[in-house]
Every structure is written in C-alpha cells, then in structure tokens.
C-alpha cells in the first residue's frame, strides 16, 4: 500500500530528549526506580514538569 501525502505528513519524528539528573528519592522512570544522582533522558516538556515537582 502506497502512503498518501496526508498519511506521510502524520508520521511524527521522535521527540527531542534532554538528559536530567534526579535530585529526589522515590522517582521511577519507565517503571524502574531511580536513585538520587541517576541521569535519565526525557522530553523538554517532561523535564519542565519534573523540575516543577522538585525531582530534578
């Protein structure tokens, strides 16, 4: 099946990721616990939310 222009336009590029450092105990990322000092990669929007929550 050949993609139409509309179908091709809806394919999203992978989101940009930034590396952040965990500063608060008890955080999990992708279902795994994180320790203070661990580095994880998240989107800029997620990083903003994590900062507001005091996690990074």
Do the strands 39-42 and 32-33 form a parallel or antiparallel pair, or are they unpaired?
unpaired
Predicted local distance difference test score (pLDDT) of residue 10:
66
Per-residue pLDDT of the chain (56 residues; tens, 9 = 90+): 565 555 555 677 788 999 999 999 999 999 999 999 999 999 999 999 999 999 99
Which tokens in the block code for residue 32? 């795994």
Predicted local distance difference test score (pLDDT) of residue 12:
73
Residues 6+ apart with CB under 8 A from 52: none
Predicted local distance difference test score (pLDDT) of residue 9:
58
State whether residue 53 is helix, strand or coil. Answer: coil
Q: What is the pTM of this model?
A: 0.71
Ranges assigned E (strand) in the chain: 18-21, 28-29, 32-33, 39-42
């Amino acid at each position: 099946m050949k993609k139409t222009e509309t179908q091709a336009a809806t394919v999203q590029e992978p989101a940009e990721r930034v590396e952040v450092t965990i500063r608060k105990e008890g955080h999990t990322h992708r279902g795994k616990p994180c320790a203070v000092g661990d580095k994880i990669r998240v989107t800029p929007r997620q990083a903003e939310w994590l900062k507001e929550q005091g996690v990074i």
